[in-house]
């Protein structure tokens, strides 16, 4: 009997979620989009210089799955071939931190990623020499805890700083290419990759199911642990424990744990306030699971019982959320879904005996707001791609996030789940987190982690 073959050292340092055939298919779509006379070239993330776990940026990972700093990828539309460019092995560094993938692993990297060639970094210059049309991403590269909108905001801050103004990595790379290829035409690869990344494959959705389950576990446990006197960041710590215990890298974005007046800022991040028994909590936090994340929003009372006005507003948003969820399906636009939800909910809103006129107005405003199917979710929490103006396609993953505002009273209410459009309807990836108000109150009566080990809180 032949003994089983142990996995190679190279394979054990490479992702296992996607086969080489899926990466080839993605790259084939790029060849088709750029045309037979062009090339596309991507720069991977550089080393951070910190004692951190390297995370490749999303576009680079999407096309080859390689997590090595200072790597480059060339997609040659003329030959329909892909080439990876990697640093050489560093024995001194590997003796300290362990094995990393390098150009010396070329044969197995070709097998694992499906690229045709792996070369050392200097070869990229000569391989580009005859290129007349070159596509490179111009949008900022999304790394750990980052997404397009946060990176663009950071870029604007740098550019407006009179003591900085340094160019981005993308700009510096394109300037280097332009100097190397003065007669070449340059185009933006980002819109092509954004369109591809919008619709998730079955393998991507499988990872996002894991991320959704961990999100629900973490938020549910945070409900159990909530009590007066805790800090907001301690609920985030409970979530981090749930994430890391189950193999996630950590958070997919910074945690939002807002209580009291902090809820008015929907992306509140300080998480340093003490929970008061009269407050309620808005929590929005999901893990980074093998370069994919999720998104969620739940609100619950610190003392475990919703007040009448909280039940009135949050109960309405939960009901509206469920109506939207029932209407999401392929082949219709977001505008159609909003209109259908309005048709179902308007009579209910108009006939409800609201305790305040401002509540009634806010509820009616909810029905006409046109961004409750808020944003794509995927490798970034605010993922790339656009779907609002087109019929929804199977494989689109989005944040279903109905929201209500009463500015004069500084009241903000929302509930959020991550959902995927299927061939026949929709699947809620974060459905395991309690949604109904009575279910939330029941969960909050259960014993949580912090009650089991109070000695850990100093």
Whether the pLDDT of residue 331 is over 60: the answer is: yes
CA–CA–CA angle 251, 252, 255 (5° rounding): 55
| Displacement of CA 351 from its chain's centroid (Å) | 39
At 116-151, the pLDDT tens digits run 999 999 999 999 999 999 999 999 999 999 999 999
CATH architecture of 202-456: Alpha-Beta Complex (3.90)
Lowest mean pLDDT among 87-96, 205-214, 295-304, 406-415: 87-96
| Confidence category of residue 410, pLDDT binned at 50, 70, 90 | very high
Compute CA distances 199 → 178, 275, 400, whole Å.
32, 40, 16
At 2 the pLDDT is 42
Compute CA distances 163 → 154, 157, 169, 172, whole Å.
15, 11, 18, 18
Task: Look at strands 403-406 and 411-414 and give their pairing.
Answer: antiparallel
d(CA 219, CA 225): 10
At 406 the pLDDT is 98
CATH 3.40.350.10: which residues of the chain?
Answer: 11-193
Whether the pLDDT of residue 12 is over 80: the answer is: no
At 71-108, the pLDDT tens digits run 999 999 999 999 999 999 999 999 998 889 999 999 99
CATH 3.90.230.10: which residues of the chain?
Answer: 202-456
At 382-403, the pLDDT tens digits run 999 999 999 999 999 999 999 9
Query: Smallest Cα–Cα separation from 332: which of 274, 267, 283, 387?
Result: 387
Whether the pLDDT of residue 5 is over 70: the answer is: no
8 A C-beta contact, residue 63 and residue 25: no
Task: Look at strands 38-43 and 426-428 and give their pairing.
Answer: unpaired
Percent of the chain predicted with pLDDT > 70: 97
Residues recorded for the chain: 458
Phi, then psi, of 182 in degrees rounded to 5 = -65, -25
Q: What is the DSSP string of 112-131?
A: HH--SEEEETTHHHHHHTT-
Global confidence as pTM:
0.96
- Strands (E) located in 225-272: 256-259
Could you tell me the CATH superfamily of domain 11-193? Creatinase/prolidase N-terminal domain (3.40.350.10)
Tell me the angle at which helices 232-245 and 202-225 cross, rounded to the nearest 10 degrees.
Answer: 140
H-helix or E-strand containing 215? Answer: helix 202-225
At 184-199, the pLDDT tens digits run 999 999 999 999 999 9
8 A C-beta contact, residue 395 and residue 205: yes
3-state secondary structure 309-374: HHHHHHHHHHHHHHHHHHHCCCCCCHHHHHHHHHHHHHHHHHHCCCCCHHHHHHHHHHHHCCCCEE
Compute CA distances 49 → 52, 96, 182, 246, 330, whole Å.
8, 15, 33, 27, 45
Whether the pLDDT of residue 231 is over 60: the answer is: yes
Residues 6 or more apart whose CB falls under 8 angstroms from that of 163 comprise none
At 8 the pLDDT is 60
| Confidence category of residue 458, pLDDT binned at 50, 70, 90 | confident
At 13 the pLDDT is 86
Eight-state DSSP code of residue 427 = E
Whether the pLDDT of residue 11 is over 90: the answer is: no
């Amino acid at each position: 009997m032949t003994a089983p073959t142990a996995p190679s050292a190279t394979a054990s340092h490479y992702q296992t979620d996607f086969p080489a055939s899926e990466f080839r298919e993605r790259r084939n779509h790029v060849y088709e989009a750029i045309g037979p006379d062009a090339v596309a070239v991507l720069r991977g993330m550089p080393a951070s210089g910190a004692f951190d776990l390297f995370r490749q940026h999303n576009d680079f990972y999407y096309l080859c799955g390689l997590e090595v700093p200072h790597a480059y990828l060339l997609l040659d539309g003329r030959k329909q071939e892909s080439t990876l460019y990697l640093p050489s092995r560093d024995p001194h560094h590997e003796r300290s931190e362990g094995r990393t993938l390098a150009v010396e692993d070329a044969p197995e990297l070709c097998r694992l990623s499906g690229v045709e060639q792996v070369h050392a970094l200097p070869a990229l210059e000569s391989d580009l020499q005859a290129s007349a049309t070159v596509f490179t991403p111009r949008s900022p590269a999304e790394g750990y805890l980052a997404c397009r909108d946060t990176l663009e905001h950071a870029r604007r801050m740098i550019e407006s700083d009179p003591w900085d103004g340094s160019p981005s990595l993308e700009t510096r790379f394109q300037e280097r290419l332009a100097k190397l290829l003065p007669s070449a035409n340059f185009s933006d690869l980002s819109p092509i990759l954004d369109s591809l990344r919008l619709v998730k494959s079955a393998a991507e959705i499988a990872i996002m199911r894991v991320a959704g389950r961990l999100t629900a576990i973490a938020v549910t446990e945070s409900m159990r642990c909530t009590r007066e006197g805790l800090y907001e960041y301690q609920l985030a710590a409970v979530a981090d424990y749930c994430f890391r215990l189950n193999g996630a890298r950590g958070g997919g974005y910074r945690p939002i744990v807002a209580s009291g007046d902090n809820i008015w800022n929907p992306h509140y991040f300080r998480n340093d306030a003490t929970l008061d028994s009269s407050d309620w909590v808005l929590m929005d936090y999901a893990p980074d699971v093998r370069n994919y994340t999720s998104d969620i929003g739940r609100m619950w009372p610190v003392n475990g019982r919703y007040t009448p006005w909280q039940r009135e507003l949050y109960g309405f948003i939960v009901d509206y959320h469920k109506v939207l969820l029932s209407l999401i399906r392929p082949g219709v636009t977001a505008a159609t879904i909003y209109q259908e939800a309005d048709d179902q909910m308007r009579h209910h809103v108009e006939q409800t005996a609201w305790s305040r006129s401002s509540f009634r107005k806010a509820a009616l405003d909810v029905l006409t707001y046109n961004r409750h199917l808020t944003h794509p979710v995927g490798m970034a929490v605010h993922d790339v791609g656009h779907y609002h103006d087109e019929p929804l396609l199977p494989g689109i993953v989005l944040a279903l996030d109905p929201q209500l505002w009463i500015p004069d009273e500084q009241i903000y209410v929302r509930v959020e789940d991550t959902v995927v459009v299927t061939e026949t309807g929709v699947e809620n990836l974060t459905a395991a987190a309690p949604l109904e108000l009575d279910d939330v109150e029941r969960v909050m009566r259960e014993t949580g982690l912090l009650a089991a080990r109070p000695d850990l809180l100093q």
